[in-house]
Chain A
Amino acid sequence: MGAEPLLKIEDLSTHYVSAQGRRVVRAVDGVSLSIKARETLGIVGESGSGKSTLALSILRLLPPSAHIVGGSLRFEGEELLQKSDAEMRRLRGRRIAMILQDPMTSLNPLFTVGDQVAEPIRVHERASRASAWQRALELLKAVRIASPSTRLRQFPHELSGGMRQRIVGAIGLSCEPRLLIADEPTTSLDLTIQAQYLALLRELQQAHGLALIFITHNLGIVAKMCDQLAVMYAGRVIEAGPVRQIFAAPVHPYTEALLNSIPQMGVGRRRLTAIEGQPPDLAAPAPGCAFAPRCSKVIERCHSMAPPQVGLGDGRVVRCWQAPANTAAERLPSGAA
């Protein structure tokens, strides 16, 4: 595909440095990903794998102890890492929006829903209160809130969790962003509301043609929502590519283990397999593959050398010595890594 990706992340590394500067945690380590308009990219990984840090890095909203130490973030052809704080602020909410995890506390308890949905419009477009409220009304209709004009005047505590999360979604969409980052937006909703909300997000994405980055640890949601998938482990993308291919034939043992650890309906009685062991300490990385101590297919060189990222030809990339490209390279006299 010749189209320039909307967001191109190249070799991005974000490290947390302790106050004394002695401990360095490589939360995001050499991540390369890209996403095109109208595409949905799912990022999965267990807690602490760097998903959220990656999302915050894109918005450049990291806590003071975190530093982007290298790489590039190109959004709409512009380098985000070279933008000033003021330029970034104008981008946030307007070109890149984000939906946070918890709808129950994402709204300010003291303002009406209308004020809060209208806020980004007023901040970014300097719209008048009346016209911003008019837009807010349309947004509430777009996220399918019943009797929107009444809701606009209500306070967050008067609404249910599902409704609040839709309002947070409406705030995210208020300035018609090109990229929406959703960081586990459904974890605190119950399942039926979750399904409704996901369907709504999908629909809004189609309607507005926006790119969606979906951060989750729920592979079921990924299967339903995403076109592309990136699996993160210990700050690195260990496998990425089209969802279908990855689900059909995972290459990395970690991806395979993840897929085996979710129950499936209609497959008969099958043991769910847990992944033994703990994720590695990111402050003291081993020289080899981070997953090696937990890997079922570990070979000797996994412990001594980190596998390079190799393409599999079908749009997929993977970091594993067992990947076909790597085993092929091994047969050559002098490895091409």
Chain B
Amino acid sequence: MAIGTEAIPLAPRVSLRLGAFPVLPTLILCSIALIAVFAELLAPHNPELGALGMRFRPPAWSAGGSADHLLGTDHLGRDVLSRLIFGARVSMVVGFTAVIVAGAVGTLLGIVSGYLGGWVDQVIMRLTDTWLALPALTFAIFLTAIVGPSEMNIIIILGLVYWTRYARVIRGEVLSLKEREFVRLAVVAGCSKWTIMRRHILPNVVNSAIVLGTLMLGVVIVTEAALSFLGVGVPPPKPAWGLMLADGKKGLMVGYWWLTVFPGACIMLMVLSANLLGDWLRVKLDPQLSQL
């Protein structure tokens, strides 16, 4: 190695606001994702098939529990652990796809609204205002009532309910971006509006969309669980965490705590992890904050 090529020791990177990389939340999210992918291999039992003779078995470590059903069984004798494992798949698929649907719709409308301005902006923003005035959950229930519950419909509905958040944020970014010199230079160079939106605006707002996406992931998962809990989400017997909560709520009063605590904990862990990761990403990807 030639002299002088050794790395000059850089000043230690002072991270004023940027905390340490959230290892634990990332690990949790990754393991949930892996569990969702390999659910068939990991689940000890069929999640949708129960034995009525094995109803309300407690977890293995309490009295009356067996090692066969580590986290106990529910009111139809189905294995809680297996249902949690397959439930992760539902949460992941619905959560991520709905966030992507909402993100795509919202980012597109936000860019068009912010860049074109004028009456287009007025129409899209008044629509957004109206949309935001509707309570998200009620609105989602209303939409499900129209199209009927299914996993695909839930994804589309959640996407339709939450695109407004993206549209607002992205539009704001576009408003400042379009005054930047490089956008003006593109105009002067004869680029069409669509070319400018696609080549100069979109890549510059992708960061914000990703950050918003991680933060929205938690919201979407909770909403999906709430819809399932209310019986208008993922239709049974498919194991969704919200559905498991709903099924277990009657048992809670008579001491069958494992039916609600485990799915509740799963929802909480996943949402918390998504939020922590989102917070970190927000600071990390914000050029103003990360340049401190």
B17: Cβ under 8 A from any A Cβ: no
User: Given the complex, which residues of B lie within 8 Å of A239, measured CB to CB?
Assistant: none
B residues 171-226 in Cβ contact with A at 8 Å? 180-182, 184-192, 195, 199-200, 203-204
CB < 8 Å: which of A92, A100, A168 contacts B190? A92
CB < 8 Å: which of B181, B185, B190, B204 contacts A123? B190
B32 → A minimal CB distance (Å): 32
A67 → B minimal CB distance (Å): 15
**Contact status B189-A92, CB under 8 Å:** yes
A91: Cβ under 8 A from any B Cβ: yes
A323: Cβ under 8 A from any B Cβ: no
Q: How far is the CA of A97 from the CA of B187 in the complex (A)?
A: 10
**Contact status B190-A120, CB under 8 Å:** yes
**Contact status A93-B189, CB under 8 Å:** yes
Q: How far is the CA of A61 from the CA of B188 in the complex (A)?
A: 8
Q: How far is the CA of A89 from the CA of B189 in the complex (A)?
A: 8
**Contact status A91-B190, CB under 8 Å:** yes
A244: Cβ under 8 A from any B Cβ: no
Please encode chain A, from 162 to 182, with 1 for each CB lying within 8 Å of some chain B CB and 0 for all others.
Answer: 000000100100100000000
Q: How far is the CA of A102 from the CA of B183 in the complex (A)?
A: 12
Q: How far is the CA of A301 from the CA of B155 in the complex (A)?
A: 77
Q: A110-B203, A119-B199 are in contact. Are A97 and B182 (CB under 8 A)?
A: no
A residues 85-102 in Cβ contact with B at 8 Å? 89-94, 97-98, 100-102
A6: Cβ under 8 A from any B Cβ: no
**Contact status B192-A89, CB under 8 Å:** yes
**Contact status B190-A89, CB under 8 Å:** yes
Q: How far is the CA of A94 from the CA of B190 in the complex (A)?
A: 8
User: Given the complex, which residues of A lie within 8 Å of B204, measured CB to CB?
Assistant: 108-110
Q: How far is the CA of A64 from the CA of B118 in the complex (A)?
A: 10
Q: A94-B190, A124-B190 are in contact. Are A168 and B185 (CB under 8 A)?
A: yes
Q: How far is the CA of A100 from the CA of B189 in the complex (A)?
A: 11
**Contact status A119-B191, CB under 8 Å:** yes
Q: How far is the CA of A110 from the CA of B205 in the complex (A)?
A: 11
Q: A61-B187, A119-B199 are in contact. Are A108 and B182 (CB under 8 A)?
A: yes
A63 → B minimal CB distance (Å): 11
A242 → B minimal CB distance (Å): 29
Q: How far is the CA of A110 from the CA of B195 in the complex (A)?
A: 15
A18: Cβ under 8 A from any B Cβ: no
A residues 31-73 in Cβ contact with B at 8 Å? 59, 61, 64
A106: Cβ under 8 A from any B Cβ: yes
**Contact status B181-A106, CB under 8 Å:** yes
CB < 8 Å: which of A92, A98, A108, A168 contacts B200? A108
Q: A108-B200, A110-B203, A110-B204 are in contact. Are A98 and B182 (CB under 8 A)?
A: no
User: Given the complex, which residues of B lie within 8 Å of A105, measured CB to CB?
Assistant: 180-182
Q: How far is the CA of A105 from the CA of B180 in the complex (A)?
A: 7
Q: Considering the complex, give the chain A residue whose CB is closest to the CB of B185.
A: A106
A124 → B minimal CB distance (Å): 6
A107: Cβ under 8 A from any B Cβ: yes
User: Given the complex, which residues of B lie within 8 Å of A89, measured CB to CB?
Assistant: 190-192
User: Given the complex, which residues of B lie within 8 Å of A108, measured CB to CB?
Assistant: 182, 186, 199-200, 203-204
Q: Identify the A interface with B (CB < 8 A).
A: 59, 61, 64, 89-94, 97-98, 100-102, 105-111, 119-120, 123-124, 168, 171, 174
Q: Identify the B interface with A (CB < 8 A).
A: 117-118, 180-182, 184-192, 195, 199-200, 203-204
Not counting A89-B191, A174-B189, a sample of 10 additional A-B residue pairs whose C-beta atoms are within 8 angstroms of each other reads A89-B192, A91-B190, A93-B190, A97-B189, A105-B181, A106-B182, A106-B185, A108-B200, A110-B203, A171-B185
In the assembled complex, 14 residue pairs joining A and B whose CB atoms fall closer than 8 Å, in A order, are A64-B117, A92-B189, A92-B190, A100-B184, A100-B185, A105-B180, A106-B185, A107-B182, A107-B185, A110-B204, A111-B199, A119-B191, A123-B189, A123-B192
